A and B are shown apart, each in its own frame.
Chain A
Amino acid sequence: DSGVTQTPKHLITATGQRVTLRCSPRSGDLSVYWYQQSLDQGLQFLIQYYNGEERAKGNILERFSAQQFPDLHSELNLSSLELGDSALYFCASSASGTALYNEQFFGPGTRLTVL
């Protein structure tokens, strides 16, 4: 158990809908990262927050947004969902925001299925 929690574990929804994925980092970790893992795109970094502020941005679509709250939990919002958004969404946390040696602890993931 990494100490990172993600809810829900599974999510099934329809095209055009909006969903919110939630992540609670390990106790004491200030950074939260979001990743998308799909069969065709592999594991892709989406976005990082550090202590409430956006720190780095990867291949995140405009239909997706994220935020980190004062209690450090984070939410990833996916809107106007398409079939291609079906994937496993991971959240990871780390103590630091920019240190190179920045071991990231991954949550169990949320499997999103868009029908």
Chain B
Amino acid sequence: AQKITQTQPGMFVQEKEAVTLDCTYDTSDQSYGLFWYKQPSSGEMIFLIYQGSYDEQNATEGRYSLNFQKARKSANLVISASQLGDSAMYFCAMRERQNNDMRFGAGTRLTVKP
């Protein structure tokens, strides 16, 4: 069964505006971690932000914030003040305590327009 769902194959945003990339997940584990990675066209995977299932505050890292809604099992990435360099694939991932592996979503391709 698909554990991580990213429903937006592609998104467009105007430079300097904010954008939200959706991610929903499925788990019966009470203890898990949620991650967002960025993959530019050059191919490398860049870690952006992490949210633990027991964290009460939404995670923030610079222009990135994670809108964590535990009851809805969603972990949306919000990028504020988009820059042209933000154009990339974005992957949501989950690591469960019981499984110890990392499951990735299909990704969302974000294009920032000048």
The stretch of B20-28, B39-47, B68-76 in contact with A is B39-47
Min CB distance, B33 to chain A, in Å? 4
Given A90-B45, A92-B45: A103 touches B102 (CB 8 Å cut-off): no
Q: Tell me if B106 and A42 are in contact (CB < 8 A).
A: yes
Q: Tell me if A109 and B103 are in contact (CB < 8 A).
A: no
Dominant secondary structure of chain A at its interface with chain B: strand
Binary B-proximity of A25-48 (CB < 8 A = 1, otherwise 0): 000000001000000001111001
Cα distance, A92 to B50, chains bound together (Å)? 16
Interface size on B, residues (CB 8 A): 24
Min CB distance, B60 to chain A, in Å? 15
A residues within 8 A CB of B100?
A: 48, 55-56, 98
A residues within 8 A CB of B47?
A: 103-106
Q: Tell me if B103 and A45 are in contact (CB < 8 A).
A: yes
**A45 partner, pick from B37, B52, B53, B101, beta carbons under 8 A:** B101
Cα distance, A102 to B35, chains bound together (Å)? 10
Interface size on A, residues (CB 8 A): 24
The stretch of B10-18, B78-86, B91-99 in contact with A is B91-99
| Residue ID in chain A nearest B54 by CB atoms | A100
Cα distance, A112 to B104, chains bound together (Å)? 21
A88 within 8 A of B: yes
A2 within 8 A of B: yes
B64 within 8 A of A: no
Cα distance, A92 to B33, chains bound together (Å)? 17
B residues within 8 A CB of A48?
A: 100-101
Q: Tell me if A100 and B44 are in contact (CB < 8 A).
A: no
B residues within 8 A CB of A45?
A: 101-104
A residues within 8 A CB of B99?
A: 56
A-to-B contact residues, CB < 8 Å: 2, 33, 42-45, 48, 55-58, 88, 90, 92, 98, 100-106, 108-109
What 3 A-B pairs have minimum CB-CB distances, sorted nearest first?
A106-B45, A100-B33, A43-B104
Q: 17 new A-B pairs (CB below 8 Å) besides A90-B45, A104-B102, A108-B43?
A: A43-B104, A45-B101, A45-B102, A45-B103, A45-B104, A48-B100, A56-B99, A57-B101, A58-B101, A88-B43, A92-B45, A98-B100, A101-B33, A103-B47, A105-B47, A106-B44, A106-B47
